[in-house]
Each structure stands twice: as structure tokens, then as C-alpha cells.
């Protein structure tokens, strides 16, 4: 699948799309998955650590990543199937704020992220090329299916970078 043109997505997502340096976005997703599994497999990982008072914990960051991945994949599925419904945005902070994830262990988070990213990779890998080029509307902006693939992978990289740079984890 080719890299999307900037006209295929809202400029807000450009930072995610440009995070993907790999030629193959599916391979990038696989690499991201391996990095997250390595992080969550670290002994004595403090899932409740956050680098600031109004920041997310590691646990919340992983749940957010999975939530966003599912939403991007849902949008891609609908658009790839020719659904012309304008898809609404979502408030990422309320997805975290109004839920309690303290019961989720590192093993739970590994299972969650494996299932989520593997499902997303499979969906994109099995799409016909012409379906990845379809354009729909999400959050009041045009977006192509292939842009959603790159946004998904780039969003995961964004959070890997935060976990390294702000949380101080070796990845």
C-alpha cells in the first residue's frame, strides 16, 4: 500500500503519517507490536507511573493506543466497504477519564495489544489495493483508507516515543 498524499487526511494527522519511515506500513505495525510487548514484558514495570500530574499512566497509554487503533480500523473498514456515512470524532481523554483500568495486568495489556494490532494488520493486509485508496469522511475531514493505516502505525510510534522520551523507558 502506497503512502497517502497529504490531501488524503487532515493536517492534524500529518505528524503520525510522517512517523512511519518503513516502506511497508504493515511491517511497521508488526515492529510497533514487538516494541510494546517488549516494554510490557519488563520485570517490575510500574503500570501506574506517569511523568506528570495530568498525564496518563503507562496502563492508560496502552488502553488509549488500543482504543484509537480500533477506532481508526473501524473507520477504515467502513470506508473500504463503500460506506459514505460521515464518521464522528471521539474524545480520547473521556475514553480514559470515565473508566477504571487498574484491574488490567501487564499480561492483560499484552493480550489486548496483540489482539488489537494483529486484527488491524490482518484487515489492512487482506484489503484490495483499490479499497485502500477509497476516501470517506471522519471528524469532518476527508480521509483515505491508506491514510488511516499510516495514522494507526504512526500514532503507535508517537506513543512509543513518549514512553521513551518522557516516561524514560528503554525500548
pLDDT tens digits for 29-84?
Answer: 999 999 999 999 999 999 999 999 999 999 999 999 999 999 999 999 999 999 99
Q: Which domain holds residue 93?
A: 6-165
Domains contained in the chain, number = 1
CATH code for position 137: 1.20.120.450
- Output the 3-class SS for the chain: CCCCCHHHCCHHHHHHHCCCCCCCHHHHHHHHHHHHHHHHCCCCCCCCCCCCCCCCCHHHHHHHHHHHHHHHHHHHHHHHCCCCCCECCCCHHHHHHCCCCCCCCHHHHHHHHHHHHHHHHHHHHHCCHHHHCCEEEECCEEEEHHHHHHHHHHHHHHHHHHHHHCCCCCC
How large a percentage of the chain has pLDDT more than 70? 98
Residue 1 lies in a domain: no
Residue 54 lies in a domain: yes
pTM beyond 0.85: the answer is yes
How large a percentage of the chain has pLDDT more than 90? 90
pLDDT for position 59:
95
- Predicted confidence (pLDDT) per residue in 111-159, tens digit: 999 999 999 999 999 999 999 999 999 999 999 999 999 999 999 999 9
98 falls in which pLDDT band (50, 70, 90)?
A: low
Residue 170 lies in a domain: no
Residue 70 lies in a domain: yes
Amino acid at each position: 500500500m502506497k503512502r497517502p498524499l497529504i490531501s488524503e487526511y487532515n493536517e492534524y494527522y500529518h505528524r503520525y503519517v510522517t512517523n512511519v519511515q518503513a516502506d511497508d506500513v504493515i511491517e511497521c505495525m508488526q515492529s510497533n507490536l514487538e516494541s510494546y510487548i517488549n516494554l510490557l514484558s519488563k520485570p517490575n514495570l510500574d503500570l501506574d507511573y506517569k511523568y506528570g500530574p495530568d498525564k496518563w499512566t503507562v496502563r492508560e497509554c496502552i488502553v488509549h493506543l488500543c482504543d484509537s487503533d480500533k477506532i481508526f480500523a473501524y473507520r477504515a473498514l467502513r470506508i473500504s466497504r463503500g460506506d459514505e456515512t460521515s464518521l464522528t470524532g471521539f474524545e480520547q481523554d473521556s475514553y480514559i477519564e470515565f473508566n477504571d483500568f487498574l484491574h488490567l495486568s501487564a499480561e492483560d495489556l499484552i493480550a489486548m495489544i496483540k489482539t488489537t494490532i494483529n486484527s488491524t494488520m490482518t484487515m489492512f493486509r487482506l484489503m484490495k489495493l483499490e479499497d485502500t485508496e477509497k476516501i470517506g469522511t471522519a471528524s469532518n475531514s476527508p480521509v483515505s483508507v491508506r491514510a488511516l493505516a499510516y495514522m494507526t502505525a504512526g500514532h503507535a510510534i508517537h506513543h512509543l516515543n513518549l514512553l521513551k522520551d518522557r516516561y524514560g523507558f528503554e525500548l
